Structure 1
Amino acid sequence: MKATGTPFEVAEAVAAVDALLDLPLPEDGPTQWEPSKGEGWSGSYGAGFRLKLLWESRAYFGVPGPEWDAAQEEAEAYLTALTRALDERWGPHRQVSMRAFLLGEVDDASVPPLFAELRAFDLYGELMVWGPVTSPPGPRWVAVSVGQCDEDAPHMMVAAVSDVPIEELPGD
């Protein structure tokens, strides 16, 4: 498979998830961006969650074509590899759909901060979720996902850690 974006190693992605699990989660306050070494966004934190960018493809300009398809396949393969590694550690994951957002069925007043941040980046890919898992600060829920805000933006793989269960949002 031809790489379309930043390098990806499963062991590094698992280590990044472990690092998220070790960090304290803010109890309240507005969502903040993590400082980035380069341009753009590398992660966020807010009331009860942390979100980290694990991988991204390059951006694509114009309508989807063979290069976009290759990036999509690469993103899905990387997500599958990471999901398998985390399944080996914590047991089978469950999927949490972001479909309610796509259909406009979510009451904005009831959106938890983690989901609000995912929506801010238009990251509507299915969440692969484990939890509660043991971590030094206490029980946590972990999710990984791949999304893309529009057809010419990079595919982005993110990891999230939450101090509350990550559950599918009810529609209106």
Structure 2
Amino acid sequence: MTTARHLATIDSLRARPFPARPERSGPVDSGPGFHVGELATSEEFWEDDGTRRVLVEEQYEAERDALAALLTPRWGPPEELSLWSVLERSMDGEEMPEPWSTLSCHTPNLWLWRTDGRWTGLGVSQWDKELPFQLLAVVT
């Protein structure tokens, strides 16, 4: 996907109303108060020695950084939010709200902007070392 399409997807997610119940529509998971959209998804890594996986991770982080550079003039510099404490708290049995509970399982951190009453974020996700990387946009 192109950067222009990623920006259009982010703008579309920001404009959408939040549904009353969790739902999935194509590459977007939504629920009360949130949307999480897959901007890009890599291939899986079942037959990889780790080298290609590292290169793809770096590529996805570079794509996130490029999008952040384009969003910063709009909204200012992002805040970086580590989701480690959310994961740790949920593993200790604390109930965490969505999308934070699920995101913390596969996205180590988000770059967040607060604008127009909503948080908008970008993150790089990977559920497990054999599974694909994803570039995610989050709106809450």
> TM (normalized to structure 1)?
0.73
* 1:19 is the counterpart of 2:12: yes
Q: Give the length in aligned residue pairs.
A: 139
**What is the alpha-carbon root mean square deviation over aligned residues?**
1.8
Q: Give the Cα–Cα distance (whole angstroms) in 1 for the partners of residues 49 and 137 of structure 2.
A: 25
Query: Which residue of 21, 42, 46 maps to 1:61?
Result: 46
Query: Which residue of 74, 89, 93 maps to 1:105?
Result: 89
| Structure (1/2) with the larger helix percentage | 2
Q: How does 1:1-150 map to 2 (within 5 A)?
A: 8-26=1-19, 28-29=20-21, 31-34=22-25, 36=26, 42-62=27-47, 64-102=49-87, 104-106=88-90, 108-119=93-104, 122-131=105-114, 133-134=115-116, 139-150=117-128
Q: Give the Cα–Cα distance (whole angstroms) in 2 for the partners of residues 115 and 47 of structure 1.
A: 12
* 1:160 is the counterpart of 2:123: no
Deviations 1:85-110 (A, max 9, x none): 111211000011111245x3335544
> TM (normalized to structure 2)?
0.89
Q: Which blocks of at least 5 consecutive residues in structure 2 are unaligned?
A: none
Q: Give the Cα–Cα distance (whole angstroms) in 2 for the partners of residues 117 and 51 of structure 1.
A: 10
Code of the residue aligned with 1:123 in structure 2: it is: H
| Structure (1/2) with the larger strand percentage | 2
Aligned to 1:4: none
**% identical equivalent positions:** 27
Q: Which blocks of at least 5 consecutive residues in structure 1 are unaligned?
A: 1-7, 37-41, 163-172
- Report the alpha carbon displacement of residue 117 of structure 1 after superposing the two structures with TM: 3.4
Q: Give the Cα–Cα distance (whole angstroms) in 1 for the partners of residues 63 and 112 of structure 2.
A: 16
